[in-house]
Amino acid sequence: MSLTNEQLLAVLDQSKTATAIYTTEDIVIESANKAMLAFWDRDNSIIGLSLDVALPEIKNQPFMDMLRKVFTTGIDDIGEAIRADLVVDGRLQTFYFDYEYRAIRNPAGEVYCIIHTAVDVTERELAKIELTRVRAMENAQKKALMESEDRFRALVTSTSDMIYSMSADLYIMYQLDGRGFLSDTTEPIDDWISKYIHPDDQEKVKTAAQKAFRNKEMFELEHRVLQADGKIGWTQSRAVPILNDQGEIMEWFGAASDVTNRKMEEERKSDFIGMVSHELKTPLTSLSAYLQMLQGKSKMDKDTFTLGALDQSVKQVRRMTTMINGFLNVSRLESSKINIDRSRFDMAGLVEESEAEAIPMFSSHQLVFAPVEETYVNADRDKISQVINNLISNAVKYSKQGSMINIACITVNGSAQVSVRDKGIGIKQEEISRLFERYYRVEGSQHIAGFGIGLYLCCEIIKRHEGKIWAESELGCGSTFYFSLPVVA
Ligand code: ADP
């Protein structure tokens, strides 16, 4: 039994495979089953129309040409995942189809129709495209990471510093030396410290590391190291903690720079200063003695002119002595030869002594000592006296004649706090933190004699007492310098 055309078309209509039949070079739709009409989102009314009339949106797409070619050449066109932009649900949407255009010939061998079957593979294709996009993104990220690693390595290679990383619980994880070599060491920091740090500095490094770890702050220290050749070098170590969103330390990143040459240079300089100051002291002491003798003689002779000149000379010699003592103290500090000789005393008593000394010496200014309250400390009385006198003489030096200087001594939160307030030239905010550095002088104060060691010495003395020293200031309005020491019963 053979099927009639109508029967064939009815079977076709039931088929799940989307099928259409086209005739003539104009690609007239002879028939299209339900599945194909559903792909196109059109109804039966398009039967008998040219495909590009039924689906005007395909005008600039390749289908008409492809179908015409099949018609004229008789060669089937079979392909996968071709893109078709079709108006479905009222808007142009992109689909992908596996398709077959099969040329059907009559017994004379002429093509009289094309059977078009299609399978919608849009979901599979979109998933593939998404996968490709994700892969491309991952590759781009990988590439960026590799580039960033390359840059990091180049940075490490170009620096002479040693770079290292530590885990949150202070295990050294790896070190990168100046040539970018990575050594995976994973050893506890304490072992590492005992291997590489000079025995005398090990405790200092441990304490500083623990403090940074506790406070989650940058670790920064200069210390001696044992070099591979057995020599002792100096290193400046810095490490910053990397915190997670919860504020916990995840890792430390650190760098160690070799500062041996700078340290040696500083040592030579301070040795030289120490030596010169020491040598200058002897002639200065005898000069002072001769001046005193001459003062006595001029007094007897009632030679007022010489007496006046000698008074000035004595003042200058005293200034010079203070300066030289300052240098000597710096050089002693550097070689750790400064001893802190503690005793229990009332800070108020010491401030009153300074008052007795300062009022006649600085008659150019109004010195007000108030409030001065009893507060006991355990400290080196002479050295603390030196700090107070230094702060007063700075206040005098950096403020106008006749202006007021206020000195106070009180107890605040379990500390004896001494403050010296002036109404002088003041200091810029950004320079305040640097005042206590050795040889640091504020720009513009060059016309006032000084070497920038007074505050450095004060700071070192107070630090050795576990105290605090700081300044508050406003440019043009004046400054207040404070220090505080723990109170004892
Ligand atoms: P010096 O006074 O010998 O330069 P110091 O170490 O005592 O050294 O002080 C460092 C710098 O701090 C000074 O050069 C000055 O610029 C600034 N300074 C110190 N005390 C005061 C003050 N009371 N008012 C303004 N500037 C001050």
Q: What is the mean pLDDT of residues 457-483?
A: 94
Q: What percent of the chain has pLDDT over 70?
A: 94
Q: What is the mean pLDDT of residues 451-458?
A: 88
Looking at residue 50, what DSSP letter applies?
Answer: B
Contact 306, 293 (CB under 8 A): no
Residues 84-99 pLDDT 10s:
999 999 999 999 999 9
Q: What is the mean pLDDT of residues 64-77?
A: 96
Identify the residue whose C-alpha is closest to ligand 1 atom 14. Answer: 441
pLDDT at 224 over 60: yes
Which mutation among 387, 389, 441 tests ligand 1's pocket best, with the greatest number of atoms within 8 A of CB? 441
pLDDT at site 165: 77
> What's the gap in Å between 268 CA and the centre of ligand 1?
25
Name the one residue in this structure whose structure tokens are 């892969």: 135
pLDDT at site 395: 96
Verdict on whether the full-model pTM lies above 0.75: no
Using CA atoms, how far apart are residues 410 and 484, in angstroms rounded to an integer? Answer: 10
Which atom from ligand 1 is nearest to the alpha carbon of 478? 24
Ligand 1 lining (C-beta closer than 6 Å): 394-395, 398, 422, 424-425, 427, 435, 440-442, 445, 450-456, 479
pLDDT at site 16: 83
Contact 188, 167 (CB under 8 A): no
Q: What is the mean pLDDT of residues 216-236?
A: 87
**Within 13 Å, how many C-alpha atoms sit on residue 83's CB side?**
9
Which mutation among 329, 393, 394, 405 tests ligand 1's pocket best, with the greatest number of atoms within 8 A of CB? 394
Name which residue leads in pLDDT, 400 or 5: 400
pLDDT at 27 over 90: yes
| Residues 6+ positions from 454 with CB-CB distance below 8 Å | 326, 390, 393, 394
Query: How far from each other are the two terminal CA atoms of the chain, in whole angstroms?
Result: 123
pLDDT at 397 over 60: yes
Residues 318-331 pLDDT 10s:
888 888 888 888 77
pLDDT at site 444: 74
SS3 annotation, 359-394: HHHCCCCEEEEEEECCCEEEECHHHHHHHHHHHHHH
Q: Count CB atoms within 10 A of the CB of residue 313.
A: 16
Q: What is the mean pLDDT of residues 7-32?
A: 88
pLDDT at 291 over 60: yes
Which mutation among 398, 406, 420, 473 tests ligand 1's pocket best, with the greatest number of atoms within 8 A of CB? 398
pLDDT at site 185: 63
Distances (CA, A) of 140 to 134, 137, 150: 10, 5, 15
Element of type H or E holding 347: helix 347-361
pLDDT at 227 over 70: yes
Using CA atoms, how far apart are residues 280 and 24, in angstroms rounded to an integer? Answer: 119
> What's the gap in Å between 452 CA and the centre of ligand 1?
7
Cα dihedral sign for 324, 430, 474, 482? negative
Confidence of residue 335 (pLDDT cuts 50, 70, 90): low
pLDDT at 180 over 70: no
Using CA atoms, how far apart are residues 256 and 162, in angstroms rounded to an integer? Answer: 5
Q: What percent of the chain has pLDDT over 90?
A: 55
Identify the residue whose C-alpha is closest to ligand 1 atom 11. Answer: 441
pLDDT at site 279: 86
> What's the gap in Å between 357 CA and the centre of ligand 1?
21
pLDDT at site 26: 94
Q: Which two tokens stand for residue 41?
A: 């989102």
Confidence of residue 3 (pLDDT cuts 50, 70, 90): low
Confidence of residue 183 (pLDDT cuts 50, 70, 90): low
Which atom from ligand 1 is nearest to the alpha carbon of 457? 6
Residues 4-19 pLDDT 10s:
777 777 777 778 889 9
Using CA atoms, how far apart are residues 452 and 245, in angstroms rounded to an integer? Answer: 43
Confidence of residue 401 (pLDDT cuts 50, 70, 90): very high
> What's the gap in Å between 332 CA and the centre of ligand 1?
21
Name the one residue in this structure whose structure tokens are 């005393």: 345
Of 165-174, 340-349, 432-441, give the range with the top mean pLDDT: 340-349
Confidence of residue 446 (pLDDT cuts 50, 70, 90): low
Bridge pairing between strands 77-88 and 376-379: unpaired
Using CA atoms, how far apart are residues 320 and 418, in angstroms rounded to an integer? Answer: 27
pLDDT at site 467: 94
Confidence of residue 33 (pLDDT cuts 50, 70, 90): very high
